[in-house]
Amino acid sequence: MRNRKCLITVAMLAGVVSAFGQERRERDDRKQEPKTQAVQIVALDECDPATFNAAVGPDFCRNVALGAQTKLSDLFAKAASGAPDPNWDFEPDAVKMKEGTPLSVVNQGGEPHTFTEVASFGGGFIPGLNAPGEDTVGECSGGFSNLAVARTRILQGSELKVAALSKGKHRFQCCIHPWMRMEVDVK
């Protein structure tokens, strides 16, 4: 009987020691693998649902901004004049971050956008929204029939995750609204 009690006691102690060891290893693993917080970018616009949806289709523009709305014809007129609507924007305009940090791009605007990496800023795939004399950049050519562009589309209320970028400067623009631009400087 005494041997049996000793065996039970040893087994219980072994279980307790094992549990403490497991807990310590889990704590140590959490210390060694810090979670890198994503840098958030927000895509914004102020499309007027009445004029956009009449021209493009129902529910294309789902603007929820109160009182701040740009008519579709005004958007094109401003772009043609070389003074595009500043309410179509990525916020912030520039980011500095450490290598290995992911980006999270959230569309809080009323219509779709892209977040496309480009070698140099330029025009998008809708000629009427390009600045006067501005040609479509190669990365945006073909519009959504270009799979690389389609993969960077962000629908209203959705999020696009960009994996960790390499060191250096990275340029991103919307291939629909090409004045929506931002630079990411990775250190």
Tokens representing 22? 């497991």
- Other beta carbons within 10 Å of 162: 19
pTM higher than the cut 0.85: no
39-186 architecture in CATH? Sandwich (2.60)
Query: Any idea what DSSP says for residue 62?
Result: -
pLDDT tens series, the chain, 187 aa? 555 454 444 444 444 444 445 555 555 555 555 567 899 999 999 999 999 999 999 999 998 776 779 999 999 999 999 999 999 999 999 999 999 999 999 999 999 999 999 999 999 999 999 999 999 999 999 999 999 999 999 999 999 999 879 999 999 999 999 999 999 999 9
Going by C-beta distance under 8 Å and a sequence separation of 6 or more, which residues neighbour residue 104? 38, 39, 40, 41, 159, 160, 161, 162
State the Cα–Cα distance between residues 22 and 95, nearest whole angstrom: 40
Tokens representing 90? 């990525």
User: For residue 164, what pLDDT is reported?
Assistant: 79
Domain boundaries, the chain: 1-34, 39-186
Query: Any idea what DSSP says for residue 98?
Result: -
The CB-side HSE value for 133 (13 A sphere, CA atoms) comes to 1
